[in-house]
Amino acid sequence: STGIRTPIGIKVFGKDLGEMERLAREIETVVKQVPGTTSAFAERITGGFYLNIEPDRAQLARYGLGVGELQDVIGTALGGEMVTTTVEGRERFGVTVRYPRELRTDPQQIAREVLVPTMDGAMVPLGQVARVEVAKGAPGIRTENALLSAYIFVDIRERDIGSYVADARKAVNEQVKFPPGYYATWSGQFESMERAVQKMKVVIPVTLLIIFLLLYLNFKRLTETLIVMLSVPFALVGGVWLMWLMGYNMSVAVAVGFIALAGVAAETGVIMLIYLDHAWEEIQAKRRAENKEPGVADLYEAIMEGAVERVRPKMMTVVAIMAGLLPILWGTGTGSEVMSRIAAPMVGGMISSTVLTLAVIPAIYGLVKQFELRRRRA
């Protein structure tokens, strides 16, 4: 959709094709020196050869010929004209007549051998009524945003697109001087990535806000909500580690995987807090029945009891999720590049989430409840 067939493309805009090609070649040289570049190629927008036939109006008038008549002769002699159709069974083939190749390959021969009929029936060589020459021109002309454009195609390896473009853009800005009216833009997959980044800047905060609201509606208390929210980053650590081990770069698919992981981590954190709250409430009820105030030792006992009860369901959750994601992570074929990058953060995150749920959340819960006990006694 961008016209760029490589991961990264650079579009140079301006008014003069020669100047644009010079700038494109300079950018090509600079980009090749950026770490991670495997190839960089600037389109050659000049250097094509054209056969120009320019009518001599004075000579045409001398022989009583018009420009249109001359163009008809040139079109028939060089381009060809269909004179009839041959029928072979159910097939139809057009029969085109034009000068043989050996008479239309050389400009001088064209000027000498192509004959133009005059009003009185005489035949005049084309070279007497027109100037035939080969001239340089553009092989192809691109336009975009009402300006001429030239493309530089760039392939990269072992680098993510975002950091590479940042380095390449800095190098181009420092080493290439653009005349007034000329500028360059970065396109290709990078253009799509920029649009995705802008959306992610909205989607990720909204996702975290929704998780926070759902947690608050569930607990009806800000303390437990913050415990789960503060513990979510610990669950993401495993996803980051696995991404590093597998050599994946940050992408939209990876971001989707982390968003899903944050939701699962919050869910398991909620279940752990529910177990801890139930165990703590039972201990408090038991101490009140004995007319005693619950202490720190009772809190530790409740935390141990609640955390132990959570081991089996947590392991079942982790095993079930990883059993479903590992085939996706190791899969091959169409779409596997995207699906494996969605699955990788979740697989790694479930491992760190297990440690988080069984160790970090009970520890944070114990610190918070200890503070509440001290404040109540004070």
pLDDT at 281: 85
Neighbours of 98 (CB within 10 A): 14
* Same domain for 262 and 153: no
Residue 315 lies in a domain: yes
Report yes or no: 28 and 42 within 8 Å, Cβ to Cβ: yes
* Same domain for 159 and 34: yes
Residues 299-348 pLDDT 10s: 888 888 888 877 787 788 888 888 888 888 887 777 777 888 888 888 88
Where a domain ends, among 97, 117, 135?
135
Q: Which residue has the tokens 């079109």?
A: 75
Bigger pLDDT: 312 vs 91 = 91
* Same domain for 286 and 360: yes
Residue 273 lies in a domain: yes
Helix axes 252-289, 361-377, angle to 10 degrees: 40
* Same domain for 122 and 232: no
Residue 67 lies in a domain: yes
* Same domain for 304 and 260: yes
Residues 15-68 pLDDT 10s: 888 888 889 999 999 999 999 889 888 888 777 788 899 999 999 998 888 899
Between strands 123-125 and 37-42, the pairing is unpaired
* Same domain for 81 and 54: yes
Residue 211 lies in a domain: no
pLDDT at 161: 81
8 has a pLDDT exceeding 70: yes
Where a domain ends, among 191, 207, 234?
191
Residue 212 lies in a domain: no
* Same domain for 235 and 111: no
Residues 105-162 pLDDT 10s: 888 888 988 888 888 888 999 899 999 988 877 777 777 877 888 889 999 887 878 8
Provide the residue range defining the domain that includes 116. Answer: 50-135
Residues 366-375 pLDDT 10s: 888 888 888 8
Where a domain ends, among 88, 106, 135?
135
How is the chain split among helix, strand and coil, in percent rounded to 5?
Answer: 60, 20, 20
* Same domain for 238 and 151: no
Residue 308 lies in a domain: yes
pTM exceeds cut of 0.75: no
* Same domain for 243 and 169: no
* Same domain for 43 and 54: no
pLDDT at 253: 84
Among 203, 328, 340, 355, residue whose Cα is nearest residue 265: 355
* Same domain for 301 and 233: yes
* Same domain for 322 and 230: yes
85 has a pLDDT exceeding 70: yes
pLDDT at 276: 86
Residue 21 lies in a domain: yes
Report yes or no: 339 and 251 within 8 Å, Cβ to Cβ: no
Q: How far is CA 50 from CA 73, 151, 153, 361, in A?
A: 19, 22, 26, 75
Q: Tell me the pLDDT of the chain averaged across its residues.
A: 85
User: Domains in the chain: how many in total?
Assistant: 3
Mean pLDDT of 72-76: 90
pLDDT at 1: 59
Report the C-alpha dihedral over residues 305, 309, 310, 316, rounded to 10 degrees. 160
Residue 116 lies in a domain: yes
Q: For residue 321, what is the domain's CATH number?
A: 1.20.1640.10
